[in-house]
Amino acid sequence: MNIEFKKHLLAHNTFGIDSIAEEFAQIQTEDELMEVLQYANKNQTALHVMGGGSNILFVHDMKGIVLLNQLKGMQIAYEDKEVVHVKCMSGEVWHECVLWSVAHHVGGIENLSLIPGTIGAAPIQNIGAYGVELKDVFVELEAIHLHTLEKKIFTNQECAFAYRDSIFKTKEKGNYFILSVTMALSKQPICKTTYGTIQQELNEMQVDAVSIKSVSDAVIRIRRSKLPNPAEIGNAGSFFKNPEITTAHYEQLKNTYEDMPSFDTVNGKKIPAAWLIEKCGWKGYREGDFGVHNKQALVLVNYNHAKGSDILSLSEKIISSVQEKFSIQLEREVNIW
């Protein structure tokens, strides 16, 4: 086990914030993981599990150990005429697994192309994009309890997946290290092209016969044109979740804001947070090295040397102004550390 002290985390988070970890360990094998967990338990040290750092905003230096997950490997766990169950180790890069599925003509995750980060983080917030969520293909995951070191299988139902949510953000928050995730991919995939501008992009690409490869390519093209590349401008994708409001609240707002977009949900209406933020005048806002992206109001950005606390307080101002104007409480999607 190799523990590094006072490790700079600048290169390990897409926001590009230079937090310093008191202790830092990278693990490539399950044995190395066990050593770090035992070490943390013995010394009663806080342990923070990280993958690609694409959904974290550091607001201070990290006490305890930051554990960087690099458990690699993929295998087919089950296969029949219709489906393939792929078991991916949690340190695998999510998009690499999408590319694997496309190359092997098994569908279900092509709409989730180019989401940054690791397989192990995907269930935490039930990653989603373009009408698909991880839960749609999720079979089970294996996790290890950080303190008892007991292993446990969580089924789809046990993960309690919801919109950008799972049991690992609520009841079991910070309790488990996810070791692997198994997904069911279809050998006769039905491509989902109706969400967002996928169909329009396919038309522009002059695709006649839609395939999982063309859908993946279309999603990649759309994302590249819409979202800032973290390699160029620090960000963690959508900073806020799209809020859900009651139908009565929606009807009331609609009297004033006729152009307010919405999506039906089981309990009411979902309103795009980007629209609310833009209506409050934040789109393109910049203060020194931090601000709100000028093309995508949902994305807060670090232009150069912003502090995490600056970005957090900007998010607080945005939450207050949306609350004041629309009586809607925005919730952060990004994990604040």
Interface with ligand FAD (CB under 6 A) = 14, 49-56, 69, 90, 115-118, 120-122, 124-125, 127-129, 176-178, 227, 230, 235-237, 335
Q: Which H/E stretch holds residue 281?
A: none
The nearest distance, CB 258 to ligand FAD, in angstroms, is 29
The nearest distance, CB 177 to ligand FAD, in angstroms, is 5
Give the nearer residue to ligand FAD in terms of CB position, either 201 or 253: 201
Strands, DSSP E only, in 231-316? Answer: 234-235, 244-245, 263-264, 269-270, 286-287, 290-292, 300-302
The amino acid that residue 49 corresponds to is: V
Give the nearer residue to ligand FAD in terms of CB position, either 123 or 253: 123
Give the nearer residue to ligand FAD in terms of CB position, either 192 or 249: 192
d(CA 172, CA 249): 32
Give the nearer residue to ligand FAD in terms of CB position, either 214 or 235: 235
d(CA 120, CA 178): 6
The nearest distance, CB 188 to ligand FAD, in angstroms, is 26
Contact between residue 44 and residue 2 where contact means Cβ atoms under 8 Å apart: no
DSSP per position, 21-87: EEEEEEE-SHHHHHHHHHHHHHTT--EEEESS-SSEE--SPEEEEEEEE----EEEEEE-SSEEEEE
- How many CB atoms are closer than 10 A to CB 92? 23
Closest CA to 219 of 119, 118, 130: 130
Give the nearer residue to ligand FAD in terms of CB position, either 51 or 107: 51
Instruction: Give the distance, in angstroms, between the CA of residue 252 and the centroid of all CA atoms in the same chain.
Output: 32
Q: Which residues are catalytic?
A: 164, 238, 333
The nearest distance, CB 28 to ligand FAD, in angstroms, is 13
The nearest distance, CB 187 to ligand FAD, in angstroms, is 26
Closest CA to 282 of 296, 272, 265, 264: 296
Q: What is the CA radius of gyration of the chain?
A: 21
